[in-house]
Chains A and B, each alone.
Chain A
Amino acid sequence: MTHYVILEGVIAFLLVAGGAFVFIGSLGLAHLRDFYMRLHGPTKATTLGIGCMLVASMLYFWVTEGKPDIQEMLITLFLFITAPVSAHLLAKTGLHLRLKHVEKTAGRPAELRHEEVGEKPVPHPDRGHG
């Protein structure tokens, strides 16, 4: 009997922690000052929050139905793999469009090599566009 109470407490804690992380991520998105800062909130905090929620859901259905289910783990894995990829592409887009940044943001677009911020793709000297 007592270990059901403990499991319920763990599930409730994971749910509230997930909600809090998701909220903090969106708060960062709404509040921070330039695009490169805003990118931090959704890519890290929101991903961790949704991971917490999916683990809570998996635990709940494991306890109520008696056998573990791989589906939630699949969604968690997929989100954890794709979040850095889309964040990288968004950062590249921001650098390409030369968005405004505040003074505290490190790493100027001018510090990148020429072909990384160019107006159009530059062919490789040996291989062309490949």
Chain B
Amino acid sequence: MLDIALWTSLALVVAALLLNVYRLTIGPDMPDRLLALDTMYINSIALIVLLGLWLNTKTYFESALLIAMLGFISTVAVCKYLLRGDIIE
């Protein structure tokens, strides 16, 4: 049962990543691309969690936490750049 659930979840997350790549490619404006990139960060965290379940190891959760932090910081930095033309005033 867990095997089937893992495969289903993996397929759904990969499909979500492909949809994000689609929006990242055609996104008409800069914030659309930024939103797609932010969503890709979160989906990659989901992939890492599923990989940890698949390999039955907890080693990868540090990298998930790292990706979460860096994704948030980079999104905020690019937002500040688009808002003010400068990151640190």
Q: Which residues of A contact B (CB under 8 A)?
A: 8-9, 11-13, 15-16, 18-20, 22-23, 25-27, 29-30, 35, 38-39, 42, 46-47, 49-50, 53-54, 56-57, 60-61, 64, 69, 71-72, 74-75, 78-79, 82, 85-86, 89-90, 92-94, 96-97, 99-100, 121
A19's partner among B2, B8, B61 (CB-CB below 8 A) is B8
B16 to nearest A CB, angstroms?
A: 4
Q: Is the CB of A26 within 8 A of B43?
A: yes
Instruction: List residues of chain A with CB within 8 A of the CB of B75.
Output: 86, 89-90
Q: Is the CB of B76 within 8 A of A89?
A: yes
B64 to nearest A CB, angstroms?
A: 6
Q: A25-B39, A96-B82 are in contact. Are A79 and B68 (CB under 8 A)?
A: yes
| Cβ-Cβ contact count across A and B, 8 Å cutoff | 158
Q: A19-B13, A93-B83, A96-B82 are in contact. Are A54 and B31 (CB under 8 A)?
A: no
Q: Which residues of B contact A (CB under 8 A)?
A: 1-2, 4-6, 8-13, 15-17, 19-20, 22-23, 28-32, 34-36, 38-39, 42-43, 45-46, 49-50, 52-53, 56, 58, 61-62, 64-65, 68-69, 72, 75-76, 79-80, 82-84
Q: Is the CB of A42 within 8 A of B35?
A: yes
Q: Tell me what chain B mostly uses at the interface: helix, strand, loop, or mixed.
A: helix
Q: Is the CB of B2 within 8 A of A50?
A: no
Q: Tell me what chain A mostly uses at the interface: helix, strand, loop, or mixed.
A: helix
Q: Is the CB of B2 within 8 A of A22?
A: no
B41 to nearest A CB, angstroms?
A: 10
Instruction: List residues of chain B with CB within 8 A of the CB of A42.
Output: 35, 38-39, 42
Q: Is the CB of A64 within 8 A of B49?
A: no
Residue of B nearest to A11 (CB): B2
Which 4 pairs show the lowest CB-CB distances between chains A and B? A19-B12, A19-B9, A12-B5, A26-B16
Q: Is the CB of A82 within 8 A of B49?
A: no
